[in-house]
Structure 1
Amino acid sequence: MDTGRGNQRTYYNTRMELGGGFVLCAVLLAAVAELVGRATAATYVVGDNLGWNVPSSVDEYSSWASRHVFTPGDVLMFNFVTGEHDVAEVRKAAYDECSSNDPILLSTVGPWNTTLNSTGEHYYICTFGRHCSLAQKLAINVTAPSPTPPPSPPMLPTPTPTPTPASTPPMSGSPSPIPPPTQMPRSPSPTPSPTPMSGSPSPTPSLMGYELNN
């Protein structure tokens, strides 16, 4: 019985350790995602050098917004003097009518930062006097970031082609006969004249006379 209880206790302890490990991993992943989001987020000063004031032209803030691309996590910074201006985030109808009734949020202390947490259109106005009617209003569109393209595969070196050896003509079955050396004809040697033999008998006189007489 003690062995069975010990096994059960070990099993439950193991499950608790695994569950704690999963929770820790989830917390770490959430923290990493938040850090990555903060690293890629941008902060925009509304109006740049103009800040949040009554502009000199009616399209000042719309022109400023058209020069930027806003994504979730970006921050808008409204630079204004407290007591002279404020910032109210409103809906589309209130933006068009410059109405400060039922704002989504309102900040009266400057400067003021707001984080863009969702995609879509966002509208801001100043509720002081006729400032909104004088074009102190801002409309932006927040879009989802473009997906990061996957990294290109590494370039592999192009293999160098191996040169093909020149083909050797096939050898014939039997070797060609080697011609014999050419012999020059020899000139015939002169035949020596017969040498008269010494001691030959002289012709008999009688015979010589007989031949003459006949």
Structure 2
Amino acid sequence: MAHGRSCLFLACLVAASVSSTASAFVFKAGGTGEWRVPAEPSGGNTSAYNAWAQRNRFRVGDAIAFSYQPGNDSVLLVDKKAYDACDTSAPIDTFADGNTVFTFTRSGPFYFISGNKDNCNRNEKLIVVVMAERAVAGNGTEPASPFSPSSPPPPIGIEISPTAHPRPNAAAPKAAGVAGMAALSIGALFYALV
């Protein structure tokens, strides 16, 4: 019986450490990272890049990678007005190294266009909307999920030594999110088996 409680406690510890460590994800622009004029228009006013971006969830701390031929193209961070007009004259920031990785430091929309106005007019442009952090009662904000929609799923098993007997303390960790629920389920399963 005590062994089952030890397993449950260990599962909670694992869940607390996983759920408290939010990690960022680096997305490849358009899914491939290649920054170029899309091969085929996706229809309507939505570029192929925007159709891709709408299928993903971006969070503060995530990044996006653009790969292109330096000297032939660049990535411009612009405002909405410049994005709509493909105005390359006054960007917020310019990237021309061929391998740009841009990190999202705030929530809200980010507008990227090609530094080549003709390419931008042919839908080499992208709007990324970064999700706001959700507020939760009592502690300010909920941490971002450590697992991105396109990242691999977490490992299914955890190794638990049958001889380890961790001592519970008064400050038991708080299990939160999907990882917490998974660890609690695993702990309950071990508890039932013992």
Q: TM-score by structure 1 length?
A: 0.51
**Matching of residue 85 in structure 1 with residue 55 in structure 2:** no
Which has the higher Rg, Structure 1 or Structure 2? Answer: 1
From 56, 69, 84, the counterpart of 2:39:
56
From 98, 103, 128, the counterpart of 2:91:
103
Match of 2:11 in 1: none
CA distance in 2, matches of 1:81, 1:119: 29
Deviations 1:118-176 (A, max 9, x none): 00000000121400000000001001245364656886x9xxxxxxxxxxxxxxxxxxx
Q: Which amino acid aligns with 1:112?
A: T
Match of 1:72 in 2: 60
Bigger strand fraction: 2
Deviations 1:1-49 (A, max 9, x none): xxxxxxxxxxxxxxxxxxxxxxxxxxxxxxxxxx945xx1000010223
Work out whether residues 123 and 139 of structure 1, in 8 Å CA contact, stay in contact via their aligned partners in 2.
Answer: yes
Deviations 1:52-79 (A, max 9, x none): 0011233210111012100000011001
Q: Residues 129 and 123 (structure 1 numbering): CA distance in 2 closer, same or farther, change over 3 Å?
A: closer
CA distance in 2, matches of 1:75, 1:140: 11
Where structure 2 has 5 or more consecutive residues not aligned to the other structure, the ranges are: 1-19, 42-46, 135-141, 144-175
CA distance in 2, matches of 1:145, 1:79: 29
Work out whether residues 57 and 135 of structure 1, in 8 Å CA contact, stay in contact via their aligned partners in 2.
Answer: no
**Matching of residue 45 in structure 1 with residue 34 in structure 2:** no
SS at match of 1:112: strand
Match of 2:120 in 1: 132
SS at match of 2:58: coil
Q: Name the count of aligned residue pairs.
A: 122
SS at match of 2:82: helix
Report % sequence identity. Answer: 28
Please state how far the C-alpha of 1:88 moved relative to its aligned partner. 0.4
SS at match of 2:120: coil
Q: Which amino acid aligns with 1:123?
A: Y
SS at match of 1:82: coil
CA distance in 2, matches of 1:128, 1:139: 17
SS at match of 1:124: strand
Where structure 1 has 5 or more consecutive residues not aligned to the other structure, the ranges are: 1-34, 158-214
Deviations 1:153-209 (A, max 9, x none): 886x9xxxxxxxxxxxxxxxxxxxxxxxxxxxxxxxxxxxxxxxxxxxxxxxxxxxx
CA distance in 2, matches of 1:130, 1:47: 19
Match of 1:12 in 2: none
CA distance in 2, matches of 1:102, 1:36: 38
